Amino acid sequence: MASPSSSSIDQVSWRASVLSRFLQQSTDNSFQSLQSSVCLQYSPPELSEKFEFDVREMRRLLDDHNFEDRDWLMGLMMQSNLFSPRNSGGKVFVSPDYNQSMEQQREGWLTDRTLEGEMRKLTLMDVVTVFDHSLSVKIGVHFFLWGGAIQFFGTKRHHDKWLKDTEDYKVKGCFAMTELGHGSNVRGIETITTYDSNTGEFVINTPCESAQKYWIGGAANHATHTIVFSQLYINGSNQGVHAFIAQIRDLDGNMCPNIRIADCGHKIGLNGVDNGRIWFDNVRIPRENLLNSVADVSPDGQYLSEIKDPDHRFAAFLAPLTSGRVNIAGGSICSSKISLAIAIRYSLTRRAFSVSASRPEVLLLDYPSHQRRLLPLLAKTYAMVFAVNYLTKVYVTRTPKTNKSLHIVSSAFKAMFTWHNMRTLQECREACGGQGLKTETVLVILKVNLMCKPPLRENNVLMQQVSKALLAEYISAQKRKKPFEGLGLEHMNGPSPVILAQLTSSVLRSTKFQMDIFCLRERDLLKRFADDVSQHQAQGESKAHAVLLSFQLAVDLARVYSERMVLQTFFESETCHSEGPLKNVLGLLKTMYVMICLEEDASFLRYGYLSIENAAAVRKEVMKLCSELRPHALSLVSSFGIPDAFLSPIAFNWVEANSWSSVHH
């Protein structure tokens, strides 16, 4: 028996002889030598794709407001060296240099409270988000969280002292709410503030390590001031969470006395945001630095508030978070637009495999499987654009009466749209193959940036808040025996919709069926959720614990509520247009949105809203819609209005961008 070593040598020799004989058979007709062929050439998709509707009109519908402001800021970015322009494949692109270190990435409008001013701020934030998420987070923290807290919680003395300096960046603000031991549970934060009536000062203290302020954007390097959320103790009695202004650095960037700050460290993304940790060692601040629109403390130490219910007071202190949810929802859709524009443009020029030897390779987007992975996400993104436009209008026209509805809708949309964004980014990255892994393609960067934001960490908490609010509305309507009013539940005042036993293509595409099936699912899940909570209570559970035990139904309910609200906003946007090519395409997108929601949600089969046969019809309809939307793919992503410079080289001439000459350039 041969030794292992000699056996291995024999195998190597055998393989070498086989290869040698094979390579020497050059005269054998069965062996075809490699022959040169015409190299792949980039062909702009505009040469072959037809635009069957007015792209400019579609863009105006999607952007909804402040078109000139968007174009102005994008143009400014493309012309300025501040935004890192680079040449690739014969085009100029602008994006941060993500190969820089964390430290390099960190270098680098509040007084107008009219409706036009509010809309303009949100528009410009959208544009900044298209360029760089880190920059948009830094701006958002400064203006919307720090500045928004002063606007919401402060009174005239705070507005006069702080807003103009914030607008002019004379002070740089951050928002110290979350702690090492408490993130979503703000009510449980451990930072303590007491009042010293002898000096007329508040004293802020971090009593333990878990009370350190954590993940505070802007704190590690640049912020000079912060809004501190803290438990307020007056004469030994805890009055709950309140907000204070505290200085943490002087104008030269030096740390203030009794303040300790540390960097949260390198992250997988968003390293342009200097997330920091803050400890307060009995820091003294003037009494006037309490943001006192909700509650105040008199010079002699008396606690004063017109809101007597502690729960209502606490809810009032969470108001600035609404602006954050609105911005995150909008930013998530911006990110989805960018990723789809890149992936779809690439799939319209990249070919792979041929049906037969005599025919050219097939464009990626001409494969049904590629259409199936991208076009439903495109339809969902369109639907969510209209929902973001609706949310923006509700936000800028908010009143005390609409604040509850705004909180519920913004919570639902923020969770749904960030989940959608994460899925879209992953699918688009995979659809671009190896090119999707490069940082200059930005898809991976967008995904890790999203992973570093708060949205995904708290989405399930937000969805349960939405369901609890819907449950409270349901119970209240039952007790009052009055119609539903508010939160978009008015559809439950009528009879329950009836779904046809057999669903044809024309029925599936009818607006009546689409609204009926979504409303039926929502009202049924709300009743199931209420019944489930009631059953747990009947078994001796508290209401709060009963809701927790019903969390699966709670999350499902919040999701279907959000999907129905999105469909409602899509329908309202569609009906504003007269018949024509643009409305026809909107109809296809709306139907695709509905069909993909029907296909992906198991509750339609679980609870019998759809039969197995009708579910199969829905699945078949999705593929038909993919083929019908395929001719419009380029025009639909072009309608996003994102300049070429904000996309990626692979969205254009990816051959030239990877050429040898580009290496030397």
Binding-site entries for FAD: 178, 217
Are 137 and 324 a contacting pair, CB within 8 Å?
no
| Residue matched to tokens 């880190």 | 134
474 C-beta neighbours (distance < 10 Å), count: 19
DSSP string, 452-489: TSSHHHHHHHHHHHHHHHHHHHHHHHHHHT----STT-
d(CA 514, CA 563): 11
Are 134 and 272 a contacting pair, CB within 8 Å?
yes
Parallel, antiparallel, or unpaired for β 173-176 and 225-234? parallel
Instruction: Give a three-class secondary structure readout of 598-639.
Output: HHHCCHHHHCCCCCHHHHHHHHHHHHHHHHHHHHHHHHHHHC
d(CA 125, CA 119): 10
d(CA 91, CA 113): 39
d(CA 226, CA 176): 6
Which backbone phi and psi does 577 adopt, to 5 degrees? -110, 140
| Residue matched to tokens 């004379």 | 170
d(CA 470, CA 464): 10
| Residue matched to tokens 């009143």 | 399
Element (H, E) at 361: strand 361-363
Annotated binding site: 178, 217
> For residue 437, what are its two tokens?
């892994």
d(CA 559, CA 51): 35
Are 244 and 227 a contacting pair, CB within 8 Å?
yes
Parallel, antiparallel, or unpaired for β 225-234 and 192-196? parallel
d(CA 482, CA 16): 87
d(CA 615, CA 624): 15
Nearest C-alpha neighbor of 326 from the set 410, 263, 269: 410
Q: List all residues 6 or more positions away from 259 whose beta carbon is below 8 Å from its beta carbon.
A: 248, 249, 278, 279, 280, 281, 283
